[in-house]
Chain A
Amino acid sequence: MLWIFLLLIHGLCAVALLGALTHQSVSVVYRSRPKRDLIRSFGAVRSNIYTNTIVALYIVTFALGGWIYAPYRYMSRPVLEDLGFFQAVALFDLKEHVAAVCLFLIPAYWLLWARVPLSQSKHARAALTILLAVGSWFSFVVGHVLNNFRGI
């Protein structure tokens, strides 16, 4: 029961993280455009206000994921392997690698958004934000797909 509760909290934190990261990513792509349509209005925000929230949410989501990874390893993964879902298991392994790589990017991400003037390092900031967003979306989708296998 504890693991299901933690999985739910992990999922809810991931949804909040995705919302903030997607909003920030769209804002770096459509920065300072007029609010003519839905997408541009979605992106016409002060993108730097999301930074600390994204950092906190990423760390909390990652910590919860790292915690529930242990029971997955001995309870769910053997079942998936017995059922022959080797690609699903490999995808989950890739998700863990992507999540770990993105965790190491968090300090540079925070630096670029919070300590470097927004007029400088624009390309690096935008690319890093989009990379984090894509990595988080990939992790979320893979986790959700595996959950649909009744793996966790």
Chain B
Amino acid sequence: MSAITPEEMPAATWVHRALPVFSMVGVVGYLVSMSFNWAPFVYYPVVNEIHVSEQADIGPGMFWYGWMAYAAMFAFGMALLALLLPVRAGRALSERFAWCLWAAPLMVILTIVVLMRHTLFS
């Protein structure tokens, strides 16, 4: 893959607006869905079944897949909304807030560590 130059870069294509939004909202959405245990489904690996609510007596339930599904749905929706932004505004936003691409996930991971402090550092 060859590097592209500024002259070769297409003027703010849809990926420039949608992908940063998808990443940032996905990361924050994962933290929210995990913190509040919001999941559209629960997977029960012992019986290999998926349920929309918690079930008793069929082994431990796994919410992790559901948390990611909710975060992905939310991120996808917000990325679609970002496509409605004018091209120039979307480009300016993605350039101005490029630092959020690494700061947001760093803060999310630190928040998760704080939320898990009782089990991690007991």
Q: How large is the interface on B (under 10, 10 to 19, 20 to 34, 35 or more residues)?
A: 35 or more
Asked if A73 is at the interface of the complex by the 8 Å CB criterion, the answer is yes
Binds B, one of A5-13, A17-25, A32-40, A106-114: A106-114
Q: Is the CB of B62 within 8 A of A97?
A: no
Q: Mark A120-152, 1 if CB is under 8 A from B, else 0.
A: 110110011001000100000000000000000
A-B CB pair tally, cutoff 8 Å: 126
Q: Mark A57-74, 1 if CB is under 8 A from B, else 0.
A: 000000000100111011
**DSSP majority for the B interface?**
helix
* Residues of chain A lying within 8 A (CB to CB) of residue B22: 104, 107-108
Q: Mark B35-72, 1 if CB is under 8 A from A, else 0.
A: 00000000101100000000000011010110110011
Q: Is the CB of B1 within 8 A of A104?
A: no
What would 5 A/B residue contacts be, using CB atoms closer than 8 Å? A70-B62, A74-B45, A98-B109, A101-B30, A104-B26
Query: Which B residues have a C-beta under 8 Å from some C-beta of A?
Result: 1-6, 8-9, 13, 15-16, 19-20, 22-24, 26-27, 30, 34, 43, 45-46, 59-60, 62, 64-65, 67-68, 71-72, 75, 95, 98-99, 101-102, 105-106, 108-109, 112-113, 116, 119-120, 122
